[in-house]
Amino acid sequence: MSYTTIQLEERAHYSIISLHRPDKLNALNATLLQELHKAIMICQDSKECKAIIITGTGIKAFAAGADIAQLHQQNKESGYIFAREGQDVFTAIEQCNKPVIAAVNGFALGGGCELAMACHIRFASSTAKFGQPEVNLGIIPGYGGTQRLTLLVGPAKSAELILTGAIITAEQALSIGLVNSVHSPEELMPYAIDCAEIIASKAPLAITASLKSIRASIELNASDGMEFEAKSFAETCGTSDFKEGTLAFLEKRAANFTGN
């Protein structure tokens, strides 16, 4: 599979997807969204891939938003499809059975910020900038931003960011819980890769079950969420990797997980 707007690098235990329109600050056009979706599905189906890192090509941008040239073509009817198609890609990321880590290396504005928020973990370079500047263009966030930002930082901070279109620094993003941690530009990818390698060393079925159970805390009410967790816990108790992980502890040796 060849790509024109992303790069997919499949390494031994994890894959790196780079958004690759550097001369347009990796703005998300329709082709890029399709290719990103395809790459996520390939990683999801791969036995070798245990975690995915999404980053932007170049030093300036993760993604500077939806492609404003394509955005300009939209009208009331097509705008709905435009939003839904982007939402579908980001929901596929959020629902991916492998952990998806955003390594935010520069501007993450509009759709770029929304993409980062659809990932399970967000690490930022100290040079990264975040924001939902859609009001400057006469629109609102349409790729899940009003929903995910509100969930992550609460309704008041979400309103302030979305209503003013303010661009904030990585440190400010950290202080409101929008990112997990901030790193120097040189340390960002090594840190994200370390995290991916650590996750890849764990029992894969437990990782997927953890992701689904964490998701349930958002989608279900508290008692259904507990029920979901108990059933998922029971499922993991039925795996070979559970027997191996507990036995390895008792025998004081490293576990050898097989994903079964």
Q: Kindly list the residues in this chain that would bind ligand COA in the complex (CB under 6 A).
A: 24-25, 27, 64-69, 107, 109-111, 133-134, 137
Question: Least distance (Å) from ligand COA to the CB of residue 171?
Answer: 18
- Residue 114 CB-density burial (10 A; 0-12 exposed, 13-18 middle, 19+ buried): buried
CB 180 within 8 A of CB 123: yes
Asked if 243 and 190 count as a contact pair (C-beta separation under 8 A), the reply is no
Which residue out of 10, 48, 134, 251 is catalytically annotated?
134
Closest contact distance (angstroms) between CB of 23 and ligand COA is 6
Residue closer to ligand COA (CB basis): 24 or 157: 24
3-state SS string for 57-77: CCCCEEECCECHHHHHCCCHH
Q: Which is nearer to ligand COA, 56 or 65 (CB)?
A: 65
Q: Residues with Cβ < 8 Å from 174, sequence gap 6 or more?
A: 124, 181, 182
- Which of 128, 132, 124, 126 is CA-nearest to residue 179? 124
DSSP for 156-191, please give it. HHHHHHHHH--EEEHHHHHHTTSSSEEE-HHHHHHH
Least separation in angstroms between CB 43 and ligand COA: 25
C-beta of 8: minimal distance to ligand COA in Å?
22
Choice between 111 and 204, CB closer to ligand COA: 111
CB of residue 110 to ligand COA, shortest distance in Å: 3
Whether the CB-CB separation of 218 and 120 falls below 8 Å is answered with: no
- C-beta closer to ligand COA: residue 24 or 215: 24
DSSP assigned state of 252: T
Residue 232 amino acid letter? S
CB nearer to ligand COA: pick between 22 and 259: 22
Q: Which of 77, 85, 114, 235 is catalytic?
A: 114
Whole-number Cα distances in Å, 145 to 7, 19, 83, 110, 254: 25, 19, 11, 8, 42
Active site residue 114: yes
Catalytic residues: 114, 134
